[in-house]
Amino acid sequence: MRSGCLKNEMNWNRKDLLGLRELSADEINFILETADAFKQVGTREIKKVPALRGKTLVNFFVEPSTRTRTSFELAAFRLSADVINISATTSSLTKGETLKDTARNLEALHADILVLRHSSAGAAQFLAQRLKSSVINAGDGAHEHPTQGLLDMYTIREKRGRIDNLHVVIVGDILFSRVARSNIFGLTKLGARVTLVGPSTLVPREFEKLGVTVSNQIDKVLPDADVVNLLRIQHERQRKEYFPGISEYTTLFGLTKERAKLLKPNCLVMHPGPINRGVEIDSEVADGLQSVILDQVTNGLAVRMAVLYLCGGIAA
């Protein structure tokens, strides 16, 4: 893999990917273009390139995740890196070791890239400041999930040819969502118009200061949407004060079969998964023609290969 095949030459100089807020529009575009090249690798008979051969990647998932971890693991395999997985239950964190000490031990084993999923906002930045290894944020609390934001943007760009001036509607639990924040930061940088929709308790007006519109009326917003990105309602985590119940949520904000009729024919329906069928989205809509949910998963692999390739090439 050579960067010479990319449209935009650019000098990538970040060892870490912590969030989309600190990236420029050029840097985001550069990652997406790098992912273009890697996407093609997945269609070959031999789905593997030697870009990270000899490098060691640690998937350090302090908070449980299957989808994101698997995606990073596969991305690393396709780049020929050696991969180990550590989860909260198998790490010494359960024995009282601090995050810093655990990570420094991994570094002492010459881990080149650390992919961190953690329940605390700022955890990835915390490690990045203290390690020479490359740190990739795979989700830190309600803060950022940059590779999810990137794969969402990649998918929009792939299906609609652009991002600027598109109207992207994000629906659901915005307050506790790192996916929402990474999408907001990335999409607004690339010129999209973003509307957040959900119950007022989960979409505080304060978000308008981030350059987006807040609405509590989904039926008014859907006809004007170019993309609808539905977030999982994480009822298992929610304090009960935030909304009265799942059925009321579906009544007010679910993308039901009926509501989907309000959408423009070329509007994309997205979801970061795992989906709750019948809660935030009806089965028919999730599996319908407008749904690009599985494309997101495929693109996630290409985007993560691009991120590992770029950052892994910088780390000492």
Partner 1 sequence: MSAIIIRNGRVIDPANKRDEVVDLTIVDERIADQSAIKNQKTETIDAKGLIVAPGLIDMHVHLREPGFGHKETIASGAHAAAAGGFTTIVCMPNTLPAADNPATIAWIKDRANRTASVNVLPTGAISKNIAGEELAPIGSLGQAGVVAITDDGHCVQNHELMRRAVEYARMVGLPVLDHCQDYNLVGNGVVNEGYWSTLLGLPGWPAAGEEAIVMRNILLAELCDHHIHCQHISAAGSVRLIREAQARGVKISGEVCPHHIALTDEAIQNFDTNYKMNPPLRSKADVDAILEGIADGTLSILCSDHAPHAGFEKEVEFDQAPFGIVGLETALGIFIDQLVHKHHKIDIVRLIKMYTLEPAKLLKLDAGTLSVGAPADVTLIASDLEWTVRTDQFQSLSRNSPFDGWKLKGRAVRTIVNGKTVWSL
Binding site for partner 1 (CB under 8 A): 21, 98-100, 118, 120-123, 125-126, 140-144, 176, 178, 181, 204, 206-207, 209-210, 239
Sign of torsion over alpha carbons 142, 144, 147, 149: positive
Closer CB to partner 1, residue 179 or residue 263? 179
CB of 148 to partner 1, least distance (A): 14
Q: CA 114, 147, 132: angle at the middle one, nearest 5?
A: 25
Closer CB to partner 1, residue 3 or residue 215? 215
Closer CB to partner 1, residue 32 or residue 171? 171
Angle, helices 293-312 vs 67-78, to 10°: value is 50
Residue pair 302/39 in contact (Cβ under 8 Å)? The answer is yes
Structure tokens that stand for 5 in this block:
């095949």
CB of 97 to partner 1, least distance (A): 11
Q: How far apart are CA 40 and CA 33, in angstroms?
A: 12
Is there a cis peptide before residue 274, judged by omega within 30 degrees of 0?
yes
Alpha helices, DSSP H, located in the chain: 25-41, 67-78, 99-108, 123-128, 146-160, 178-189, 218-221, 246-253, 257-260, 283-286, 293-312
Closer CB to partner 1, residue 21 or residue 235? 21
Closer CB to partner 1, residue 125 or residue 148? 125
Closer CB to partner 1, residue 51 or residue 128? 128
CB of 277 to partner 1, least distance (A): 27
CB of 198 to partner 1, least distance (A): 14
Q: How far apart are CA 178 and CA 237, in angstroms?
A: 14
Q: How far lies 308's CA from each of 28, 282, 302, in Å?
A: 14, 35, 10
CB of 281 to partner 1, least distance (A): 24
CB of 53 to partner 1, least distance (A): 33
Q: How far lies 303's CA from each of 88, 101, 154, 187, 297, in Å?
A: 25, 30, 8, 16, 10
